[in-house]
Amino acid sequence: MKKAMIILTMILVAVSFACDSGPKEKLKVFISVDMEGIAGVISGREVSSRGNDYDYFREIMTVETNAAIVGVLAAGATEILVRDGHGAKTNILPGLLHPKAKLLRGVTDRPENMMLGIDETFDAVLFIGYHAKAGTAGGVLAHTSSGNVIDLSINGVSLPEAGYNALIAGLYDVPVVFVAGDNWICRQVKELFGEVDTVETKVGMGTAELGLHPEEVRSQIMAEVTSSLRDLSRFKPYKLLPPYTMVLKVKKERDLYPGAEKTGKGEFTFTSSDFLKVMDAFNKMK
Ligand SMILES: [Zn+2]
């Protein structure tokens, strides 16, 4: 009897040790990086591979991402995936990226798009270089995915890219804990997610901006990211209840996605309980 008790105690200790050490020793972070909200960026040619200043700003984009990575590592991260999320997704300079992060670059047909690579093994998501949704008057280079989108809403909630990307992370119960971009996107994510930390890289005045120095942006990102990740219990995954009904308003109509309905000039709806299917419809009709 006594021997059985000792064995049982040993098993319980082993199990509690395993449970205890699991989540605490692992901190896996997903960083999705866009370009319009990066320090200093104001015009379309600075974020287009055909523009003269593109190379300069893609370097700033890369080192701004590095600041987030340094912040993540300071919080004890064990694994970091960086998703290049802008345009052709080949902006971040691989050789200048912090060596502790893996880089997911290039475009696929998958509906995750800027969130490609996210899954339930991640503990937190960060957005760097993000911008406000289409129609935001003061937003720097404000748009929603393509210049063709007037508005995208899901279940009645009008969303920026940060909004639907957070919903994709929410499918895997992963919260977005930090966003860097202009003051307008920072305001929009706070309204949507409630608890989320932000760094305002610039104050947007539409076609002008008052920006922080890129070095100042980097030091703020580093400090904020570390403090966000040290207190993950504050944040909740962003979710809406299925089924998901998308209302998409566009300037130029594309081919109707199977199952979608045209509800007016340039206005379409699509409903599914599979959110990635809704994202696929959005990507095909945007
Ligand atoms: Zn974008």
What's the rounded Cα separation, in Å, for the pair 185 and 181?
6
**Is residue 133 within 8 Å of 159, Cβ to Cβ?**
yes
Distance 206 CA to ligand 1 centre (A): 16
Give pLDDT, residue 19: 43
Peptide bond into 243 cis (omega under 30): yes
Ligand 1 centre distance from Cα of residue 142 (Å):
8
Ligand 1 centroid–CA 28 distance in Å is: 24
Best CA proximity match to 221, nearest among 74, 21, 2, 102: 74
SS3 assignment, position 238 = coil
Residue with tokens 């105690």: 9
The reported pLDDT for the residue numbered 21 is: 40
User: Of these residues, 86, 98, 131, 143, which one is catalytic?
Assistant: 143
Q: Which residue stretches of the chain are H helix?
A: 2-25, 54-74, 161-171, 183-193, 214-230, 275-285
Contact 179, 188 (CB under 8 A): no
Q: Consecutive 10-residue runs of the chain (286 residues): their mean pLDDT?
A: 50 45 74 98 97 97 98 97 98 98 97 98 98 98 97 98 98 98 98 98 97 98 98 97 98 97 98 98 97
All structural domains of the chain with their residue ranges: 26-146+159-238
List Cβ neighbours of 285 (8 Å cut-off, separation of 6 or more).
248, 250, 254, 255, 256, 257, 260, 268
Residue 15, CB-side half-sphere exposure with 13 Å CA sphere? 6
Residues surrounding ion ligand 1 at CB below 5 Å: 34, 161
3-state secondary structure of 116: coil
C-alpha 111 chain-centroid distance: 14
pTM summary value: 0.91
Q: What CATH fold (topology level) applies to the domain 26-146+159-238?
A: Rossmann fold (3.40.50)
The pLDDT, as a whole number, for residue 25 is 79
User: Separation of 133 CA from ligand 1 center, angstroms?
Assistant: 9
Distance 33 CA to ligand 1 centre (A): 9
Whether the Cβ atoms of residue 39 and residue 214 lie closer than 8 Å to each other: yes
Cα–ligand 1 centroid distance for 146 (angstroms)? 8
Reply yes or no on whether 143 is catalytic. Answer: yes
